[in-house]
Chains A and B, each alone.
Chain A
Amino acid sequence: MNSFSYVTATSPASAHELVGADGRYLAGGMDLLSEMKEYIAQPKVLVNIKSLPALNKIQPGDKSWTIGANVTIADLEDHAELKKVLPGIQQAASEVGSRQIRNFGTVGGNLAQHSRCWYYRHRDIHCLKKGGDMCYARHGDNRFHSLFTGNTCISPIVSNLAIAFGALDASVIVLKGGKEQKMTIDELYHEAWRNPEAHNSLEPGDLILRVEVPVQRTKSAYLQMSERSDFDWAIVSCAAAATVNGNKLNQARVVLGAVSNIPYQVEAANTFLEGKSLDEATTSKAADLLLEKAHVQPFNGYKIPITRALIHRTLMKLVA
């Protein structure tokens, strides 16, 4: 890591001031330190935001839950009521990394984390996402890469929580330029769809404060498929949420993870599921709609059948 100074912020406003143009926020630090060790990131100052008041609370509510950005992933995993009311989030949390990572990784950090593409993360490859000329993955080994992208970079989003929050129509409150701004999950990542150098829509100095999750959808679920049984990035992940009446879905949302630079949703698929009861034919059709625009790379075609399987299984979990 390069040399840097360290300061603990006592308020979001001073955190913003302290981070300046050359600094980075330090919450858990898992992602930041891993980038710094490869010199991909070289901030001059690290602003410890773990002491910011009130950002580490999980607040249940009748209409929506508020989850502070400094809540650790372990806190989400262990929260008994969350598991009952918003199981999709709890499931997504339990699959983040390992227990050691979950103990200091935070919600904000998980949402804001950077690409895990092995070209992007390689210290000696100057890829498109880092400002270089070429997306190496497109010309190389893209087995882990995106099926959907709005630009040349095919590195997929890896945040489990973004997928689970997306299915629940959560909002993320971000401190932008001194003002609190409410963003949908779509908006939080939209810039990554458009801009190969972006991991999300956050600009330097932006600070995630909290996530607000409406509880109107009574059921939610999250599944991922990885090569190893545990502590592994998802090859494909899927989150679904809906209000379930009998066997019929209302307000369904299905979001795919690790297959696009953003949490991937298709409006037509959500609409199609409205009022439907779930069976293989329905889930298969939903999968068709979700995968319609898939653009398969030379080595990631296998993600298609995996995605189909996960869509079916995640939806069926809603009515289990």
Chain B
Amino acid sequence: MSESKPKDSFSVSRRFFLKSFGASAAVAATAQVEAVAAELEKVNAEKVHGPGTVPVTLQVNGKPLKLDLEPRVTLLEALRNHSNLTGAKEVCDRGTCGACTVLLDDKPIYSCSKLAIDSQGAKITTVEGLAKDGKLSPIQQAFIDQDALMCGFCTPGFIMSVTALLKQNPRPTADQIKHACSGNLCRCGTYPRVLQAALKAAGAPIANNKTEVISYAKLA
């Protein structure tokens, strides 16, 4: 989807540099080579990327996603516009609603407020990466069982927040769940059932569906 633009600069990886010396590099010279390699790595580390498109590699759901992006492209835009990972949603683009929540090294973040180029090297997990071999995660299943969704637009974000929470704290209280999910908004009104689903997935007891059905005909 993005236009291909000429690369802005050429970077030399440390491994490439060392390899280029070949197997015959003298052992005595290795120390000096290492020092130069370290210098080069430092120089590369401070390499200026952009403003045009540059190669960006994102580790998403265990697979590398290789893109050419301007530095100003957010992680959310990279997922939604530059690949087909549309599970994370754009709802506010301002870090106020949580629909774009993904995990970065198992921590939930707002992908709309993180640059893609600034997300390299981290393990990124999106909602598409939760099911293993077609089997839904216990949290995904709990959301289905408790009907913790309606239109579903906030759902991936909530699932990511709850997934991260239970990984960090497998037995959270209701208050801890609420605090962990305070950054996720829902307009349809699924909150009570999101809470139930999170408690259920955590193995905590939940009240049975308390809705009472009364036959009108039998009312006095």
Contacts and interface: CB of A to CB of B under 8 A. Distances in A.
A100 B115 contact: no
Contacts of A229: 182
Nearest to A38: B94
Nearest to A103: B107
Interface string A6-31: 11111000100010000000100110
A30 B74 CA distance: 12
A10 B42 contact: yes
A interface residue count range (under 10 / 10 to 19 / 20 to 34 / 35 or more): 35 or more
A101 B95 contact: yes
A51 to B, nearest CB: 7
Contacts, number: 107
Contacts of A9: 46
Contacts of B93: 37
Interface residues of B, number: 38
Contacts of A100: 95, 98, 101, 108-110, 161, 183
Interface in A102-138: 103-104
A48 B122 CA distance: 15
Contacts of A103: 104, 107-109
A74 interface: yes
A305 B98 CA distance: 33
A36 B50 CA distance: 17
Contacts of A51: 45
Contacts of B180: 99
B70 interface: yes
A45 B48 contact: yes
A4 interface: yes
Closest 6 CB pairs of A and B: A98-B183, A230-B182, A6-B71, A231-B182, A5-B50, A3-B51
Given A7-B47, A230-B182, 7 more contacts: A5-B48, A6-B118, A74-B107, A98-B184, A100-B101, A103-B104, A104-B107
Interface of A: 1-10, 14, 18, 26, 29-30, 33-34, 36-37, 44-46, 48, 50-51, 74, 94, 97-101, 103-104, 229-231
9 contacts: A5-B48, A5-B49, A8-B46, A33-B95, A33-B113, A48-B118, A99-B183, A100-B161, A104-B109
Interface of B: 8, 42, 45-51, 70-72, 74, 93-95, 98, 101, 104, 107-110, 113-115, 117-118, 161, 164-165, 178-184
